[in-house]
Amino acid sequence: MATYDNPVRMTYSVLAAAIDTSGTLLLMSGPKGMKGRVESITFVATVATTVAVTVLSVGSVGDTDKYAINTVPIAAIAAVSNTTTILNSDTNLIPADEAVVLASDGGSTAGDGNVYVVIAWF
Protein backbone atom coordinates (compact mmCIF):
# COMPACT_ATOMS: atom_id res chain seq x y z
CA MET A 1 0.00 0.00 0.00
CA ALA A 2 1.23 3.49 -0.86
CA THR A 3 2.24 5.76 2.02
CA TYR A 4 3.75 9.23 2.29
CA ASP A 5 7.23 7.66 2.62
CA ASN A 6 6.57 5.03 -0.07
CA PRO A 7 4.28 6.69 -2.64
CA VAL A 8 3.12 5.68 -6.08
CA ARG A 9 5.03 7.99 -8.46
CA MET A 10 3.36 8.89 -11.73
CA THR A 11 4.91 10.84 -14.61
CA TYR A 12 2.57 12.94 -16.74
CA SER A 13 3.85 14.23 -20.07
CA VAL A 14 2.90 16.64 -22.82
CA LEU A 15 4.96 16.32 -25.98
CA ALA A 16 5.60 19.37 -28.19
CA ALA A 17 3.71 21.67 -25.82
CA ALA A 18 3.46 25.27 -27.03
CA ILE A 19 4.56 27.29 -24.01
CA ASP A 20 4.33 30.66 -25.77
CA THR A 21 0.57 30.69 -25.20
CA SER A 22 -1.00 31.23 -21.81
CA GLY A 23 -3.32 28.48 -20.62
CA THR A 24 -3.78 24.88 -19.58
CA LEU A 25 -1.46 22.32 -21.13
CA LEU A 26 -2.83 19.25 -19.31
CA LEU A 27 -5.42 18.23 -16.74
CA MET A 28 -4.27 15.35 -14.51
CA SER A 29 -5.66 13.22 -11.73
CA GLY A 30 -4.20 10.72 -9.33
CA PRO A 31 -5.38 7.28 -8.27
CA LYS A 32 -8.79 7.32 -6.60
CA GLY A 33 -8.67 8.37 -2.96
CA MET A 34 -4.96 9.31 -2.89
CA LYS A 35 -3.45 12.67 -1.95
CA GLY A 36 -0.35 13.86 -3.78
CA ARG A 37 2.67 16.10 -3.88
CA VAL A 38 4.53 17.42 -6.92
CA GLU A 39 8.13 16.26 -7.06
CA SER A 40 9.32 17.83 -10.32
CA ILE A 41 8.48 19.69 -13.52
CA THR A 42 10.96 19.22 -16.39
CA PHE A 43 10.97 21.02 -19.74
CA VAL A 44 13.06 19.96 -22.76
CA ALA A 45 12.97 22.51 -25.60
CA THR A 46 12.04 21.24 -29.08
CA VAL A 47 11.71 24.82 -30.41
CA ALA A 48 13.90 27.57 -28.94
CA THR A 49 12.29 29.82 -26.34
CA THR A 50 12.70 33.51 -27.14
CA VAL A 51 12.40 37.04 -25.72
CA ALA A 52 11.25 36.23 -22.17
CA VAL A 53 11.04 33.45 -19.60
CA THR A 54 7.93 31.29 -19.33
CA VAL A 55 6.59 29.95 -16.07
CA LEU A 56 5.18 26.43 -16.13
CA SER A 57 3.04 25.68 -13.11
CA VAL A 58 1.14 22.87 -11.44
CA GLY A 59 -1.89 23.74 -9.38
CA SER A 60 -5.63 23.51 -9.05
CA VAL A 61 -8.24 24.73 -11.51
CA GLY A 62 -8.71 27.95 -9.51
CA ASP A 63 -5.04 28.45 -8.56
CA THR A 64 -2.76 27.15 -11.33
CA ASP A 65 0.51 27.81 -9.47
CA LYS A 66 -0.55 26.37 -6.12
CA TYR A 67 1.83 23.39 -5.93
CA ALA A 68 4.96 23.97 -8.04
CA ILE A 69 6.55 26.14 -10.76
CA ASN A 70 9.41 25.85 -13.22
CA THR A 71 10.73 29.06 -14.74
CA VAL A 72 11.89 28.19 -18.26
CA PRO A 73 14.66 30.55 -19.39
CA ILE A 74 15.36 31.78 -22.92
CA ALA A 75 16.99 28.69 -24.36
CA ALA A 76 18.06 26.85 -27.50
CA ILE A 77 16.65 23.61 -28.85
CA ALA A 78 17.43 20.62 -26.60
CA ALA A 79 18.00 22.83 -23.55
CA VAL A 80 16.66 21.35 -20.33
CA SER A 81 14.95 23.28 -17.54
CA ASN A 82 14.43 21.16 -14.45
CA THR A 83 14.76 23.61 -11.60
CA THR A 84 11.40 23.13 -9.95
CA THR A 85 10.25 25.30 -7.06
CA ILE A 86 7.96 23.16 -4.91
CA LEU A 87 5.30 25.32 -3.33
CA ASN A 88 3.56 22.60 -1.38
CA SER A 89 4.27 21.31 2.08
CA ASP A 90 2.63 18.80 4.38
CA THR A 91 -0.19 21.33 4.84
CA ASN A 92 -0.58 22.08 1.11
CA LEU A 93 -0.92 18.67 -0.55
CA ILE A 94 -3.00 17.86 -3.61
CA PRO A 95 -6.37 16.68 -2.25
CA ALA A 96 -7.62 13.24 -3.18
CA ASP A 97 -9.66 13.08 -6.39
CA GLU A 98 -8.96 16.72 -7.37
CA ALA A 99 -8.11 17.74 -10.93
CA VAL A 100 -4.54 19.02 -11.19
CA VAL A 101 -3.59 21.57 -13.86
CA LEU A 102 -0.31 21.96 -15.76
CA ALA A 103 -0.31 25.48 -17.17
CA SER A 104 1.92 27.97 -18.98
CA ASP A 105 1.92 31.73 -18.46
CA GLY A 106 2.89 32.23 -22.12
CA GLY A 107 5.83 34.50 -21.36
CA SER A 108 7.99 33.70 -24.37
CA THR A 109 7.17 34.71 -27.94
CA ALA A 110 8.21 31.28 -29.23
CA GLY A 111 8.95 27.98 -27.64
CA ASP A 112 7.78 24.39 -27.69
CA GLY A 113 8.97 21.45 -25.72
CA ASN A 114 8.29 18.25 -23.92
CA VAL A 115 7.02 18.74 -20.38
CA TYR A 116 7.19 16.06 -17.71
CA VAL A 117 5.54 16.31 -14.28
CA VAL A 118 6.22 13.78 -11.53
CA ILE A 119 3.63 13.52 -8.75
CA ALA A 120 3.91 11.20 -5.75
CA TRP A 121 0.52 9.80 -4.66
CA PHE A 122 -0.18 8.21 -1.28
pTM of the model as a whole? 0.94
Domain architecture of the chain: domains with CATH: 8-121 (2.60.120)
Model confidence pLDDT, tens digit, residues 80-120:
999 999 997 777 899 999 999 999 999 999 999 999 999 99
Residue 92: count of CB within 10 angstroms of its CB = 11
Model confidence pLDDT, tens digit, residues 36-71:
999 999 999 999 999 999 999 999 999 999 999 999
Q: Is 38 helix (H, G, I), strand (E, B) or coil?
A: strand
Q: What pLDDT was estimated at residue 92?
A: 84
